[in-house]
Amino acid sequence: MRSHYCGQLNTDLVDQTVTLCGWVNKRRDLGGLIFIDMRDRTGLVQVVFDPDQQELFATANKLRQEFCIRLVGTVRARPDHQVNATMATGAVEVMASELEIISRAEPLPIDFNQQVSEEQRLRYRYLDLRRPQMSHNLQFRAKVTSNVRRFLDQQGFLDIETPMLTRATPEGARDYLVPSRTHKGKFFALPQSPQLFKQLLMMSGFDRYYQIVKCFRDEDLRADRQPEFTQIDIETSFMSAEQVMAVTEAMVRQLFAELLQVELGDFPRMTWHEAMRRFGSDKPDLRNPLELVDVADLLKNVEFQVFAGPANDPQGRVAALKVPAKAEAISRKMIDEYTNYVGIYGAKGLAWMKINDLAAGRDGIQSPVLKFIPDDALQGILARTAAVDGDIIFFGADKATVVAEAMGALRLKLGQEFGLVSDEWRPLWVVDFPMFEQHEGRWHAIHHPFTAPVGVSPAELQANPAAALSNAYDMVLNGVEVGGGSVRIHNHEMQQVVFDILGIGKTEAEEKFGFLLEALKYGAPPHAGLAFGLDRLVMLMVGAQSIREVIAFPKTTTAACVLTDAPGFANPEALAELSVAVTVKESQ
């Protein structure tokens, strides 16, 4: 029906006849001439209707916003003084000679010239997706997946699908369950990831696998989470962690170079412990220059228990966060607001110190806790933070986990509020994660229970799980974890030890993972992999604030689809056939 797309028109096509299909983006009636901006997924072009062509002009006079039309016209150059530099096609326009109204549009339920709520945008998503920004986001996403497929194909990876109806996998969230009609009382689970199946593919001899795959997690949502999301899933055999990191880093560098014309360079490495120490986060945003500095050793002997308690606790931490040249800018009211903010993360308070005049000694320092800090400790803090006149220092003192979370969050907030965050791209690898963490007396896997430890035997791991590091690696970009992976356990004995440490007994392990444990007995190769969050990666690349901006039909923060009014109630006959009973009434 068309010869060209709207956004393709340029001065090379002047005097040529083109046929366009699309929508009326805007209509203007100026002094007897009718102009429209016509839109398709490639962009906009201006179309002119001449009143001397009476029948055509009369039809054009009926056009309204979002009418779907087809037209024929001649491309002509705009006069220099009429060139629209804000439009890609602004140097040309189309003089229409034919017009067909394919479909009329009723008055729109949403007006994108006004502030539109996200719920309204999602309810009328088919209209929202016509907006140039949303169209650009989805087209860019398609380019990302195409580029990824091309890169991995060239590297010898095979695109292999894994099942959607399967057993639960231990990924740390609730499963979405699907009742079975043919196996009464039993349920499939939608996969939280293809973890077990991709490992089985390695044991089947397919040494380079990838899949761009839907995953499902029934968990509380936020801007970068959805109940269904998309992974770029990669698994390899006979490749080390370094080799997996090298090939996936090359893939991301190529993505940025080809699609954004950005050269990322080699990604630096940082251990988990260093990231937590300096930034209070295992996904540090390196664009923010603020860093945490440990000062507990300087405060062990002070009488002020707020500092001395955590300083002498092996599980405690006292950290300083210096904000350069902001002592005057940060008022007491703002400090109170920051105190309330860190309280969200469990901090009991927020000590502070303003450096007004170092040359004046104590008289040049303003702080409610200054009287509790002896001279040697004070000088140590000032030296270690490299404080100068005009700086303000905040202190976090509590359990190490609370300090990291609270002060890490404050670091990000201060960086944003005071414009300290640069606009560059700062990727890195975070490595050497602890293998386990302990909650309420039980060990839990930091990643998942199939991650291999670094450099220990099964007996050594069993004897000292707290000291073990996992052979895992996360790719972080501008403070967002875009991908994570690990070397997997390929030894049956090691896998059983990990299950034992996690409190997964042989009966439970056999019930949940018996097929994997069985496969490990038959010549399982060493294997490793990594999964990227496609939605998060695209979100960052297009500069969006939420992954909902790069998903065609996302769910709301309550995991609902307002477009289709899903989820909905099933009819009683269907439930009876599935042997499922609903105990919540519809009115609830």
Cite the DSSP H helix spans in 418-563: 458-463, 492-501, 506-519, 534-542
pLDDT tens digits, 247-260: 999 999 999 999 99
- If one counts every other C-beta atom within 10 angstroms of the C-beta of residue 53, the result is 16
pLDDT tens digits, 291-307: 999 999 999 999 999 99
Two structure tokens written together for 85:
């530099």
pLDDT tens digits, 351-407: 999 999 999 999 999 999 999 999 999 999 999 999 999 999 999 999 999 999 999
CA-CA distance, 39 to 25, in Å (whole number)? 6
- If one counts every other C-beta atom within 10 angstroms of the C-beta of residue 78, the result is 16
The average pLDDT across 110-136 equals 92
pLDDT at 334 over 70: yes
3-state secondary structure of 419: coil
- If one counts every other C-beta atom within 10 angstroms of the C-beta of residue 539, the result is 24
Residue by residue, DSSP assigns 161-202 as ---SSB----SSSBPPEEE-SSSTT-EEE--S-SHHHHHHHH
- Candidates 497, 445, 504; CA nearest to 470 is 445
- Candidates 362, 355, 348; CA nearest to 318 is 348
Q: Which pLDDT does position 507 carry in this prediction?
A: 87
Q: How confident is the model at residue 243 (pLDDT cuts 50, 70, 90)?
A: very high
Span between the terminal Cα atoms of the chain, in Å: 50
Q: How confident is the model at residue 40 (pLDDT cuts 50, 70, 90)?
A: very high
Q: Which pLDDT does position 6 carry in this prediction?
A: 97
- Candidates 232, 248, 236, 274; CA nearest to 431 is 274
Cα-based angle 277, 394, 224 (whole degrees, multiple of 5): 60
The average pLDDT across 550-564 equals 93
Q: Which pLDDT does position 318 carry in this prediction?
A: 98
3-state secondary structure of 338: helix
Q: Which pLDDT does position 441 carry in this prediction?
A: 85
Residue by residue, DSSP assigns 62-109 as T--TT-EEEEEEEEEEPPGGG--TTSTTTTEEEEEEEEEEEE--PPPS
DSSP structure class, residue 363: G
Contact 161, 206 (CB under 8 A): no
pTM of the model: 0.92
Contact 76, 50 (CB under 8 A): no
Q: Which pLDDT does position 156 carry in this prediction?
A: 98
- If one counts every other C-beta atom within 10 angstroms of the C-beta of residue 185, the result is 9
Computed on alpha carbons and rounded to an integer, the radius of gyration of the chain in Å comes to: 30
φ and ψ of 381, to 5 deg: -65, -45
pLDDT at 585 over 70: no
CA-CA distance, 430 to 481, in Å (whole number)? 10
Two structure tokens written together for 150:
């091309």
Q: Which pLDDT does position 224 carry in this prediction?
A: 67
DSSP structure class, residue 265: -
pLDDT at 335 over 90: yes
DSSP structure class, residue 559: S
pLDDT at 150 over 60: yes
Q: Which pLDDT does position 470 carry in this prediction?
A: 96
Q: How confident is the model at residue 588 (pLDDT cuts 50, 70, 90)?
A: very low
Q: How confident is the model at residue 512 (pLDDT cuts 50, 70, 90)?
A: confident
Give residue for tokens 């986060």.
281
φ and ψ of 100, to 5 deg: -125, 125
143 versus 516: the higher-pLDDT residue is 143
Q: pLDDT above 70 covers what percent of the chain? A: 98
